[in-house]
Structure 1
Amino acid sequence: MNTASTAHHETFETHRRALLGAAYRVLGTVADSEDAVQETWLRWQDVDPTTVREPRSYLVRAVTRVALNIVRSRDRRREEYIGPWLPEPISTDASAEPGRAAEIADEVSLALLVVLESLSPLERAAFVLREVFALPYPEVAETLERSEASVRQLVSRARADVRARTPRHPVDEDTHRALIAAFLEAAQGTVALTEMVAVLAPDVLLTTDGGGVKRAARRPIHGTANVLAFIAGIMAKPEVMLLSWRMAELNGRPALIGHEGPRIDCAVWIEADGEGADAVVTRIDMIRNPAKLGAIRV
């Protein structure tokens, strides 16, 4: 490897973690994010590093542009996707593969990814560039090929939506773990599913992603009674009754994994609001689409 190639490689590797984080926030899937980083690397090789004053900023902007192109292409496929679409979870506990996307998943919660997915692609990209990477508005505008005034509006709308969809009183790690433990007991049959009413908000929202491959609700389910009825139906299915359940860390927070030996059937994570004994689960997300379970380790 010659000196120029070495400089290219070293500069890129220095910022690879940030690039993967930017792409994952925009795309929500591991494979697409890694593809975006690889495409950025190929383009970076045609750039003279000595002409780039701030490589990190340059590369983050470049990978975001690539990610946006992937989003636009994918959104055309998304129209044919069966049921709700949820982001791809990543193992971040001791079972995680060192050096993979797990290196950035600790910093990118599944709850945030779900919120970002509700934004338009441009809002998502503007939010990530400005709020996560603190790029100046002129650079964000140039990246998105929009006016600075337009970008400020995109960021403002995105910021407002994220704030509105984020719990007013997010629970601490211990409370989150206790709530997940309650779900684990219900899944294992230690406690009756009906006892979960005490930890669910009246307007709790359940979203399931089966991708048309596994049984899942075609639309989000609202309300305690409806959510518990759906979960009871899923748990009564023979293939689900065979599953073993364990608590695991996904994207830096405790979650549930349902598996039969090494085969993972589903991943379940929650969002909760409140303090201490008053904390309740406001959102439950469940992925059963096998294509989105590859970054989880049993």
Structure 2
Amino acid sequence: MQAVQAGRVDASVGTAPTAVSGVFFQVAPRISPVAEKAPVPDILPLASLTPETPPGVFDAARTGKPEFVDRKGFGGIYNSHALETPASPYQVMAGTVISASLVTGLKSDLPGFVIAQVTQPVYDTVSGKHLLIPPGTRLLGQYDDQVAFGQSRALVVWKRLILPDGSSLEIDNLPATDTQGYAGLADSVDYHTWSLLKGVGLSTLLGLTAHSGQGESDSDLVRAFRDATRDAANQAGQRMVEKALNIRPSITVRPGWPVRVIVHKDLILKPYTGVAGHG
């Protein structure tokens, strides 16, 4: 008996260091059945609450950026276009910046036209000796009324150039920029925040009114009428908020605002010999 007990003691002593040794893997304790059966929260209903991209807001994944990144090579080392020489010595070439200021203002609530006036003379690009666009030349343009949510700059393009002597040149949508070259014109923007706050406030008021007056002793008819009123109030509030969110920002640019015109296609004119206009 003593030999058997001694063998048992030796076996227990031999296994004790093994259990605490860092060489062997430690077996984690089993999770209790209660923890294994813990309910997993259902997140599927939350997917329906994901806001959709509102109209006018650009999604980077849908605007061709992946296609731009995945675009293959340029197909060779040589450019497909040959060297061009100026077609006329009286030419304003692409890259020229024309300084002007607005004669008429613009407001993006409705589409319309805008007029600007050149404030500095423009000479031919090659020699810089021939006056081609004198100060006082009028620019006739058009602005875009499709303003996206959060947009703060008005998109303006110029379509015609009218010199003081009455001669004119149709131009291909030359873009308008500010004095630093940023696309569009930015003066003041009205995001109609007050209209949105009014819609939210009225929606909240309708919801509180519908939930007031509840009691446990109400009859089924009264309870049904109250539920119908509450649902109607919620729907009315949601529609009011949606209408407020659909109001586009109003961009206003005042007369006299400085503007720059970027020439992106060569303009062929003739030397101006008349008197510069004075607006």
Q: TM-score range by the shorter chain?
A: under 0.3
Query: Could you tell me the TM-score, scaled by structure 1's length?
Result: 0.22
- Structure possessing the higher radius of gyration over alpha carbons: 2
Query: Could you tell me the TM-score, scaled by structure 2's length?
Result: 0.23
Q: Which has the higher contact order (CA 8 A, sep 6+)?
A: 2
Which protein has the bigger strand share? 2
Which protein has the bigger helix share? 1
